A and B are shown apart, each in its own frame.
Chain A
Amino acid sequence: MALAESWQKAEVPGPLKAMLIPNPEVAASLISRSRNPVIVSGSETPKLEINGKRLIKYVEMLSERFSAPIVATSNTVRAFDEDRWRNVYSLSLAEATAKLSNPDWSVEGKNPPHDTALFIGFKYYTLWLALSNLKHYAEHLKTVSLEKYYQPHAAWSLPNLTDERWMENLEKITQKKEG
């Protein structure tokens, strides 16, 4: 049974911690139900592979599956450009966090605000802090961590996973619906 336990053990957030995403279907339905989702993809995205498959491919599949724009932090936009992937906006994690907590903002300027933000491809601690800001200051936003490790400050998070299970989850979440 998966535990809502922080990967870095000392990271004990307080009374409110992320709800565990029990299975990929729950994540997929959570995201599908959102009005204006955005994906935030971090500095580690281009460096990570899961069993030989590049993490960036999953981010692109997420974007396609949920028609969500991608905010690429650090210089990650470069990797998306090399993949000739459109719909990518470059903002730093600091800037993206500040912008996401603003209810009048959306990355393309359309339909503000974003009601859901998916996070993937970060150093563990940089993300937990950015998520902490959003937890306290972005009432309008539901944050979802699709990282390999449980992120306590998100609204929803995958549990700590092995590479195999992480891959399985991402495959299922990004799978196009039949019909």
Chain B
Amino acid sequence: MVSKHVKVKVDELKAGSAVLKNLEISLGRILEEYWEEPVGPTPQPEMTDLREWDKKLLEKYRPLYMPFCDVCCLCTMGKCDLTKNKRGACGLDMSAQQSRIVLLACCIGAATHTAHARHLLEHLLDRYGRRHVLDVGGVNIEVEAPITRLVYGIRPRTLGDLEDVLDYVEKEITALISATHTGQEGNNMDFESKVFHAGMIDHLAMEVADIAQISAFNFPKADPEPRFAELGFGSVDASKPVILVIGHNVPPAIEITRYLKENGLEGKVELCGLCCTAHDASRHTHNAKIVGPLSWQLRFIRSGVPDVIVVDEQCIRADTLIEAGKVKTPVIATNGKNCQGLPDRTMDDPEEVARTLIEGGVGALILDPVKVGEVAVKTALGLAPRRERFKVMPDVEEVVREAKKCRQCNECMRACPNNLNIPKAMVEAAAGKLEGLAGLLDYCIGCARCDSACPERISIHTYMAKASEKALKEERFKIRVGRGAIQDVEIRNVGSPIVLGEIPGVVAFVGCSNYAEGGREVAEMAEEFAKRKYIVVASGCAAMSMAMTRDEEGKTIYERYPGDFDAGGVVNVGSCVSNAHIAGAAIKIASIFAKRKLRANYEEIADYIHNRVGAVGVAWGAMSQKAAAIASGFWRLGIPVIVGPHGFKYRRMLLGDKDLKGHWEVYDARTGKKVYAGPTPEHLFYAAESKEEVLPLIAKLCMRPNDTTKGRAIKLTHYIDLYKRTYGRIPEDIHLFVRTEADIPITMKDEIKSFLEEKGWVETEIPDPTLLPRLIRRRVE
């Protein structure tokens, strides 16, 4: 039995004479213990407890800082000019400042997932009680919470157990944020170690949120073939009253479906969503449609289709109320973190609130999800007939008329993150040709900076959407809904082929839709690796983008590939918080397949994953602080993450240097000897310029020191093949990845052998790799 916060305070107690005053007993919560595995070395680690492990990674993967800005303005001694590594008034230099900003970003991300988890959990405890049993996969899942077991060191059984995990998480985040205060941490490498800590903590919070909601809301429970949901602008039936939910915290959406069901309104009102709330609503009910990723927000609001918009938290445009107001759509804010300036109507009669909204109210803040359900439905039903004339895009004449106002000042293009040539498209539009505007929408992230910059106040983004109206209306795709966790049996089946390298890798496409060249690239990359029998995993907006491309038969990637966690599977785990299952799968490979001790045994498990599990995360459109935190959780596990071109703006990478031979030595656990294992994986955090650069890089970063010769030959085949396809030549670094002749892919034998000869290649050993001296079984004399 583990007890926490036990406090007994007795100000006066006279035994015998039985005087008892001010007795205060606070036992906190007592966790019952169901797990026999002994507690490992790092239960509930504080921020320095895994510092040595972090150092091992950071020595190999050095930070490359790319400051956004030369100054620091965090305190009133500043602004300080840190140019060329000058120090600020507090003594901080540029490297420390950059790593501090990364830490702040990761803390914001981790705090966001944590506050989301806490808010969700409190709602679930209210509705289902502390004793509600966690169930993420029935009999198929023994290890229900791999990250919680690994980091916190307990085996949670009920919703109530998760409260303690969040207590720990909140304490750590507070400590981490405090380290960014002026006059605290000053060393960039220590900041980087804290970044890793924030990431690990973030993963824990995500796991809590997702296993709680899976258990309580009866989401698919690790089902490899869950049902399909409809996705796309055109999948929404605009002839019905339409409720749009946006954000990440699903209880309001769940209560909307409950209200619809309880009142016999299912099928009469259309419920659709954007971003992760849409994922989670679709995991709950077959009636929920997914409009698309974050970048679809503005085009869909401006289309006027939603009759009421319900926002919860995260990734919601700050101008939602203004945009919705233009098409007379009321907004219901449902979360204290995002009140939108609206009056609090939580305590008011739902009937009355709905009436105000129907009669022209701009919106209301309602902090009770049950009431949101009723108000949203009643408002949508009452308002839809009155909003008919707003459910239309502008006509072509308006676009042409407005385009004629364009004075070719280039302000829009200079504001556009993707430098889209709007002025040129405006000239064409003024002449009645809208194809140019339509073409831009494919590369547009829907930020509306162009609109904001235009001195003529032209609604550029709306006109792009109008120009693409036909295509948008035909946007109807199928996505497999988020399945949640990976089953233990799946892990047992793939454990060996992954660790030996015969399944060439696990590639996770995660994150937001801040793409430089459009979402099509994510779909193409995912397809490439599914075809090559990698395990493809997806979550969040990336999982949606992957669904938005069809083959000649009209099928999406989810319809063409199975959903199991196996070679050639395409696995949608779900929303942002479901990313925990991706890290969880890697952890389960170490614990279930390899039988490494799991409980509070972080270093050993991370060491196992880093050296043996060929997994890579690709966050092609990552933009948020949450994405930074998610990535850093993977870094601490030694899993590399690649981001797209806009990811350069995360302002630091963690790069290996393949030319430094000493950086790539591991211990051979059998002998204790240090062995050169090649740059595997070569980088830990890498921003790429183009899809062409990334395809071979993904294959390369799946290599691990532990690969068998057969596995390495398979991985090399994919790397060399993809490299040849995009670079048109063979890679210059093959010799670093060939350890013995048996590693050489048979089909490329002659070509590679002559290349190796040129490079003066010599054979090296294949170790039983570890970075941890304590795991050496027998030492060399």
Which A residues have a C-beta under 8 Å from some C-beta of B?
7-9, 12-16, 42-43, 73-75, 77-78, 81-82, 90, 92-95, 97-98, 122-126, 129-130, 132-133, 135-137, 139
Contacts and interface: CB of A to CB of B under 8 A. Distances in A.
A63 B70 CA distance: 32
A76 B62 CA distance: 26
A12 B646 contact: no
Given A15-B81, A74-B690, A125 B414 contact: no
Contact of B728 (A78, A94, A97): A78
Given A95-B655, A124-B419, A132-B67, A43 B693 contact: yes
B71 interface: yes
B726 A126 contact: no
Given A123-B645, A139-B84, A94 B687 contact: yes
Nearest to A130: B66
Contacts, number: 116
Given A77-B727, A81-B729, A135 B645 contact: no
Contacts of B67: 132-133, 136
Contact of B417 (A125, A130, A133, A136): A125
Given A132-B68, A136-B85, A137-B85, A8 B414 contact: yes
Contacts of A132: 66-68
Contacts of B653: 94
Contacts of A94: 64, 653, 655, 683, 686-688
Given A94-B653, A125-B645, A132-B67, A75 B83 contact: no
A149 B646 CA distance: 18
A17 to B, nearest CB: 9
Contact of A92 (B94, B649, B688): B688
Contact of B70 (A15, A126, A137): A15
A12 B73 CA distance: 14
B442 interface: no
A95 B679 CA distance: 14
A79 B145 CA distance: 49
Contacts of A95: 655
11 contacts: A12-B69, A43-B692, A75-B690, A75-B726, A78-B728, A82-B728, A93-B689, A94-B653, A132-B68, A133-B66, A136-B82
Contacts of A8: 414-415, 417, 419
Contacts of A12: 69
Contacts of B516: 123
A14 B80 CA distance: 10
Contacts of B657: 98
A43 B687 CA distance: 13
B65 interface: yes
Interface in B94-113: 94
Given A8-B414, A94-B655, A136-B65, A126 B648 contact: yes
A100 B670 CA distance: 39
A130 B65 CA distance: 9
B651 interface: yes
Interface string B645-680: 110110101010100000000000000000000000
Interface residues of B, number: 43
Given A14-B69, A14-B81, A98-B64, 14 more contacts: A9-B453, A13-B70, A14-B70, A15-B83, A43-B689, A75-B727, A82-B728, A92-B693, A123-B516, A129-B68, A133-B64, A135-B83, A136-B85, A139-B84
Contact of A129 (B651, B655, B693): B651
A81 B84 CA distance: 37
Contact of B414 (A9, A43, A90): A9
Contacts of B419: 7-8, 123-124
B648 A74 contact: no
A137 B692 contact: no
B732 interface: yes
Contact of A81 (B85, B651, B728): B728
Contacts of A139: 84
A125 B646 contact: yes
A15 B689 contact: no
B81 A122 contact: no
A125 B648 contact: yes
Closest 8 CB pairs of A and B: A14-B70, A43-B689, A129-B66, A78-B728, A75-B692, A74-B689, A74-B693, A129-B648
A42 B689 contact: yes
Nearest to A122: B689
Contacts of B64: 94, 97-98, 133
A144 to B, nearest CB: 18
Nearest to B724: A78
Contacts of B81: 14-15
Interface string B51-86: 000000000001011111111000000000111110
Contacts of B686: 92, 94
Given A15-B83, A126-B648, A137 B414 contact: no
Nearest to B687: A94
A126 B645 contact: yes
A71 B503 CA distance: 34
B655 A16 contact: no
Contacts of A82: 728
A7 B84 CA distance: 23
Contacts of A92: 686, 688-689, 693
**Most chain B Cβ neighbours within 10 Å, of A78, A126, A133, A135:** A126
B85 A73 contact: no
A90 B645 contact: no
Contacts of A81: 728-729
A54 B590 CA distance: 52
Given A14-B70, A126-B648, A137 B689 contact: no
A15 B66 CA distance: 16
Nearest to A78: B728
B308 to A, nearest CB: 34
Nearest to A139: B84
Nearest to A8: B414
A124 B67 CA distance: 15
Contacts of B68: 129, 132
A74 B516 CA distance: 15
**Most chain A Cβ neighbours within 10 Å, of B67, B414, B689:** B689
A130 B651 CA distance: 9
Contacts of B82: 136
B573 to A, nearest CB: 28
A92 B68 CA distance: 20
Given A14-B81, A74-B692, A92-B693, A130 B648 contact: yes
Contact of B690 (A15, A43, A129, A136): A43
A14 B83 contact: yes
Contact of B83 (A9, A16, A73): A16
Nearest to A97: B64
Contacts of B729: 77-78, 81
Nearest to A82: B728
A135 B727 contact: no
Interface in B415-446: 415, 417, 419
Given A7-B414, A74-B693, A136 B84 contact: yes
Contacts of B727: 75, 77-78, 90
A136 B94 contact: yes
A133 B728 contact: no
Contacts of A133: 64-67
Nearest to B723: A75
A21 B61 CA distance: 37
B750 to A, nearest CB: 21
B627 to A, nearest CB: 17
A129 to B, nearest CB: 4
Nearest to A89: B732
Contacts of B692: 43, 74-75
A111 B65 CA distance: 26
B732 A123 contact: no
Interface string B516-536: 100000000000000000000
Contacts of B453: 9
Nearest to A91: B732
